[in-house]
């Protein structure tokens, strides 16, 4: 008989990470600086409001000073980029997060490029994207980093295993594939043009689902004993939140699986706080030893 599936509890794991970040923040404060996070929320998208409120609360609890800037939805591209550059020059700000999506008239790539890469706690600036691709130190996107952190905390072996990533977005699919590769997994990336998705998923020891389609990954596809990380956040037909994986049927086959909600989601915020503390520490180290690469390497 198959061993019982392990439910990877992202809520509890995120609470552990957040408590560790609070200790790091206290150490940084002892060095005379309180880590600061600036969140830029353009317009009044209700879903973004909820995300920003949760980030604000978690950061404040960890001892990080949070400032939320709320430019009007009609702000121009140059004005938004100027605002982000101002935050880059502000010594009390160590992390800058521009909540996406932006209103349609704005180009997110241009805004992200205006962020000082040392403060780019979402890890989306081309310099950080390049650093990840080149195995150089940098700030790593929070959701992919959260997936790896969950694997580490649950003792999931990655080296030598076949990891199948479904989704190839800049935000999740590509960076998580690179992080898995850096951990010596053998990585396959699937997308909307993949032929025989079921067959490829079925060969995975580790599956990362990052698509945004409820129940796309069928339980019967999962290789017995595989670890399933479900990044998707969807509304099911019953109106409830659900992931990209058919949770019940997949749990009957998987060795370990993340629920939605309460899996990868809470880890994202925890990793945002961790990135902010790292960026603040790197800024302090840079002042202490100008010209040297800091411990955080950023
Ligand atoms: P995205 O930018 O829309 O990318 C979706 C990816 O899925 C694309 O690469 C797309 O392929 C692929 N895809 C679409 N239909 C497919 C199919 N039938 N078979 C295989 N692949 C398919 O989405 P994202 O930003 O990566 O987000 C993915 C999901 O994760 C969403 O539900 C989002 O809400 C959630 N999310 C959660 C967190 C969290 O904190 N838990 C954070 C970020 C995102 P193509 O490239 O070929 O179009």
The domains located in the chain, with CATH, are 31-116 (3.40.50.10860), 141-265 (3.40.50.720)
Q: Mean of the per-residue pLDDT values for the chain?
A: 96
Is the model's pLDDT at 215 over the cut of 80? yes
Give the distance (Å) from ligand 1 centre to CA of residue 169. 6
Does position 193 have pLDDT exceeding 70, yes or no? yes
Average pLDDT over residues 184-207: 98
pLDDT score for 59: 98
Helix, strand, coil % over all residues of the chain, rounded to 5: 45, 15, 45
Q: Which atom number of ligand 1 is nearest to the Cα of residue 268?
A: 40
DSSP per position, 70-102? ---TT--HHHHHHHHHHHHH-TT--EEEEPSSP
Question: Ligand 1 pocket by C-beta < 6 Å: which residues?
Answer: 143, 166-169, 171-173, 190-194, 197, 210-213, 216, 231-234, 264-265, 268
Q: 171 with 112: CB under 8 angstroms?
A: no
- Report pLDDT for 2: 67
pLDDT band at 289 (very low <50, low <70, confident <90, very high): confident
- Tokens for 292, please give them: 């040297």
Distance CA 133, CA 214 (A): 30
Question: What six digits make up the tokens of 202?
Answer: 């079925």
Angle of helix 264-288 versus helix 46-61 axis, rounded to 10 = 60
Do 117 and 296 contact (CB within 8 A), yes or no?
no
Q: pLDDT tens digit string along 228-263?
A: 999 999 999 899 999 999 999 999 999 999 999 999
Q: What percent of the chain has pLDDT over 70?
A: 97
Distance 210 CA to ligand 1 centre (A): 4
On the question of pLDDT at 194 being above 50, the answer is yes
Looking at residue 68, what is its pLDDT? 96
Residue 145 has pLDDT above 50, yes or no: yes
Task: Give 11 Cα–ligand 1 centroid separation in angstroms.
Answer: 22
φ, ψ of residue 15 to 5 degrees: the values are -65, -40
Give mean pLDDT, residues 183-199: 98
């Amino acid at each position: 008989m198959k061993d019982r599936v392990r439910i990877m509890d992202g809520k509890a794991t995120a609470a552990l990470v957040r408590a560790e970040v609070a200790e790091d923040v206290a150490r940084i404060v002892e060095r005379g600086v309180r880590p600061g996070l600036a969140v830029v929320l353009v317009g009044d998208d209700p879903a973004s409001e909820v995300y920003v409120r949760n980030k604000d609360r978690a950061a404040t609890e960890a001892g990080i000073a949070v400032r939320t800037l709320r430019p009007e939805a009609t702000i121009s591209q140059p004005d938004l980029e100027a605002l982000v550059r101002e935050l880059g020059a502000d010594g009390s700000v160590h992390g800058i997060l521009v909540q996406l999506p932006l209103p349609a008239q704005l180009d997110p790539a241009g805004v992200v490029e205006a962020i000082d890469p040392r403060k780019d706690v979402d890890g989306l600036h081309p310099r950080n994207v390049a650093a990840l691709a080149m195995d150089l130190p940098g700030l790593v996107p929070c959701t992919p980093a959260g997936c790896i952190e969950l694997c580490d905390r649950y003792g999931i072996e990655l080296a030598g295993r076949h990891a199948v990533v479904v989704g190839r977005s800049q935000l999740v699919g590509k960076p998580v594939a690179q992080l898995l590769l850096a951990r010596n997994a053998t990585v396959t990336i699937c997308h909307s043009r993949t032929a025989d998705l079921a067959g490829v998923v079925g060969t995975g020891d580790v599956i990362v689902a990052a698509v945004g389609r409820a129940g796309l990954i069928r339980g019967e596809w999962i290789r017995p004993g595989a670890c399933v990380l479900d990044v998707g956040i969807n509304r099911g037909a019953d109106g409830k939140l659900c992931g990209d994986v058919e949770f019940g049927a997949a749990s009957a086959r998987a060795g370990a699986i993340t629920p939605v909600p309460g899996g990868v989601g809470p880890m994202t915020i925890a990793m945002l706080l961790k990135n902010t503390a790292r960026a603040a520490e790197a800024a302090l180290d840079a002042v202490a030893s100008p010209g040297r690469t800091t411990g955080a390497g950023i």
